[in-house]
Chain A
Amino acid sequence: MKKIYLDYASTAPVDRRVIKAMSSFLGENFGNTMSLHYFGQESKIALEQSRNTVSAFINAQPNEIIFTGSATESNNTVLKGIAFANKEKGNHIIISSIEHPCINESAKWLEKQGFKITQIGVDRYGMVNATDIRNAITDKTVLVSVMHVSNEIGTIQPIGEIGAICRERGIYFHTDASQSFGKIPIDVKKMKIDLLTASSHKVYGPKGAGLLFVREGIKMDPLLHGGGQENGKRSSTVNIPAIVGFAKAVEICKKEMRSENARLAKLQKKLIKNLLKVKNSGLNGHPGERIANNVNLWFAFTEGESLVMQLDMYGIACSTGSACSSMTLEPSHVLIATGLRPEQAHGSLRISMGRWTKEKEIDYLLKILPKIIKRIREISPFKEEAFV
């Protein structure tokens, strides 16, 4: 059976051009960036070139980029590193109610260490209101962290607005841009971003590389102590193949982002328009302020879990919430935050497209999915009395 991948928001295949760029660093160019000799210097040069590419992409300085192992690591570093390094300034952190678990769980852990956390709610489209952030700021606030684009529902947050408020109040502003980086333009100067997280494997680079932009002059403790790599902010032998791949992936995104976005927006429109024809359904997330590769809908009297399994049997890979939360039956905290009832949240499906998504694949999904929904509804517990 032909397999159709529509779960790009969870991870993406590595672009062949990226593999090519990486290959010599898996072979002959294996040096440790910290070594003085030829091998080390070759790696060091590749590392700094990668840093140049990536920093330019978001209008940052190269010395403001730290390469990490993942977006989760970047987010952990920001929350814990900022909290501990700025203790004398304050102990209050503001996050939104739709953050990825790596932000939520880090915040919960900090709470146990005595820090104060405020969660800002969202409207029915999953949008944070910048005024709510302004109102939540106290003289003890050291950090505001709001994700740029929701990994589940694709809503694009008013990052520039929030950034301006934070800058005005002298509070650090962090955004987790894992789902927007490489897909829509980011300018850390214009948007007044102090710290930013991004990930390689979401933009057709290899897994095992992430980045953290830290604006010059910001006080942040490292999470990993050791040999002092990445300007002392992230000790570990530098993962050169992954970083070179990441940079190549960014280079490709820079060139293709605009046309790719327009192409995906068309497919997105087609998907949403046709799937909303299914009775008792609705769109999760914002209809307009939305990343082009994300479609998330709820279908009453179904369960996301069985939708995903059945689609898989037809060779179509989708997801219920984010990949990380689909192992639990808890309704998605993001969907609940938008005011969806738990049973609607349970029947939600995320379709996320990418570089190799073709229109005929979308057409195939549009043919299969309504059939599956119909079948599930026929066997919905409400109707299956004999089996209850």
Chain B
Amino acid sequence: MKNVNKKVIVAMSGGVDSSVAAALLKKQGYFVIGIFMKFWKDPSADSGQSGENRCCSVESEKIARLSAKKIDIPFYVVNAEKEFKKAVVNYFLDEYKKGNTPNPCVLCNREIKFGLLMQTALKLGADFLATGHYVQIKDGKMFAGSDKEKDQSYFLWMLKPPHVLRLKFPVGALNKTKVRALAREFGLPAAESPESQEVCFISGKTNDFLKKYLKKLPGRIVDMRGRTIGEHEGLWFYTIGQRRGLSLDQKSAFKNSHGSTKPYFVAGKDFKKNLLVVSNDQSDLLKKEVALKNVNLLSGQKYPFRAKVKIRYRQKPADAVISRNKIVFSKPQKGVTPGQSAVFYINKEMIGGGIIR
């Protein structure tokens, strides 16, 4: 077989995607090694309940191990708890403290999966690192996964260009149904693993987690004209566009709306005055210009350039012009949220991104 001397490390989470990735590479003749990374999990969470940190739980490790055994590849566990806590969890909490709504997976991919694990892979003499992400690589460029529902290129914009050359995403060209079918065909114990949740280290609701680690700092909720219409618990517990969980003074909210029954949502935060600004007019959420930080370009585009931009994971990309640290959309966009990633695409190629300021 042609790939027989090439060594690939596969990050196996116990999920169906990474298990099938490992099996496919083995079929292609690679020398495959499975690695399960142990991540930090909220120690105060009651692990006996359903809210166990799924992707890092003992159960996931077991499924990954059994799947590796079935595929017949060496399997190792790498403990990344400390690094994960530092690079991902602390970042997550710090961002919330600043009032942003971060994407922890973006940081995890850069620092842990394609950072720490890449280091481990190179030390093991590996030629490639593979994961079960729905992303495609062609000629050293990264493209959206062909299953539109599952495409995960949004979470990989922060990778370093030299990393991309060493990556493999064996399920990127498949759709989820096919991946499950393959897992069953290969007889993998991971075939029936449930879909992973969004933030793997949080067991229940994000706000409950935040309340454990961040202090309450009550303040006023004001409408766009500055009138007090309620009280908030601390700005970090709210995100732009959020409607639920706002404790509004019903009377004043009603009065201010002049008979309109449109619901209020979070339109902004004033950190200096500790004010949560709400509105019931959708147009207050619209923004044409968005400032960025930490911009990372994977292809060598020159500013300014046109691209399609996604400002949250489950969203259709919108036309925009990107200049240094700034995006100008052709049409105003709803729900621009500081801390979230803005990811750039040109013809399905994911060329980079930045963090919304």
Contact = CB atoms under 8 A, between A and B. Distances in A.
A61 interface: no
A224 interface: no
Contacts of A310: 123-125
A305 B78 contact: yes
Interface in B260-299: none
A184 B79 CA distance: 36
A131 interface: no
B79 A329 contact: yes
B178 to A, nearest CB: 31
B163 A387 contact: yes
Name the residue in A306, A328, A375, A376 with the highest tally of chain B Cβ atoms < 10 Å from its Cβ: A306
Interface in A332-388: 375-376, 379, 381, 384, 386-387
A313 B33 contact: yes
B12 interface: no
A308 to B, nearest CB: 8
Contacts of B124: 306, 309-310, 313
B26 to A, nearest CB: 15
A208 B74 CA distance: 28
Contacts of A376: 123
Nearest to B120: A306
A312 B74 contact: yes
Given A312-B74, A381-B119, A384-B119, A328 B79 contact: yes
A375 B123 contact: yes
A387 B160 contact: yes
A266 to B, nearest CB: 32
Interface string A116-128: 0000000000000
B114 to A, nearest CB: 9
B162 A386 contact: yes
> Main secondary structure on chain A at its contact with chain B?
helix
A384 B74 contact: no
A191 B79 CA distance: 41
A148 B125 CA distance: 39
Interface residues of B, number: 21
A72 B247 CA distance: 55
Contacts of B81: 328-329
A182 B122 CA distance: 42
A152 interface: no
A306 B123 contact: yes
Contacts of A375: 123, 125
A327 interface: yes
Nearest to B78: A305
Contacts of A327: 38, 77, 79
Interface in A306-332: 306, 309-310, 312-313, 327-329
Nearest to A371: B125
A375 B124 CA distance: 8
B118 interface: yes
A381 B119 CA distance: 8
B160 to A, nearest CB: 7
Contact of A309 (B76, B82, B115, B118): B76
Interface in A259-286: none
Contacts of B123: 303, 306, 310, 375-376, 379
Contacts of B125: 310, 375
Nearest to B9: A309
Interface string B79-112: 1111000000000000000000000000000000
A384 B119 CA distance: 9
A313 B76 CA distance: 11
Contacts of B38: 327
A329 B162 contact: no
B122 A384 contact: yes
Contacts of A381: 119
Most chain A CB within a 10 A radius of its CB, from B81, B118, B122: B122
B79 A387 contact: no
A325 B288 CA distance: 54
Interface in B137-182: 160, 162-163
Contacts of B163: 387
A384 B115 CA distance: 12
A327 B78 CA distance: 8
A300 to B, nearest CB: 14
A215 B159 CA distance: 64
B159 to A, nearest CB: 11
B122 A313 contact: no
Contacts of B76: 309, 312
A384 B125 CA distance: 14
A305 B124 CA distance: 10
Given A306-B124, A309-B124, A387 B33 contact: no
A288 to B, nearest CB: 34
Given A306-B120, A387-B160, 10 more contacts: A303-B123, A310-B124, A310-B125, A313-B33, A313-B124, A329-B80, A375-B123, A376-B123, A379-B123, A384-B119
27 contacts: A303-B123, A305-B78, A306-B120, A306-B123, A309-B33, A309-B124, A310-B123, A312-B76, A313-B33, A313-B74, A313-B124, A329-B79, A329-B81, A375-B123, A375-B125, A376-B123, A379-B119, A379-B122, A379-B123, A381-B119, A384-B119, A386-B160, A386-B162, A387-B118, A387-B122, A387-B160, A387-B163
Interface of A: 303, 305-306, 309-310, 312-313, 327-329, 375-376, 379, 381, 384, 386-387
Interface of B: 33, 38, 74, 76-82, 115, 118-120, 122-125, 160, 162-163
- The 8 lowest CB-CB distance pairs between A and B, nearest first, are A306-B123, A379-B122, A329-B79, A376-B123, A386-B162, A379-B123, A309-B76, A328-B79
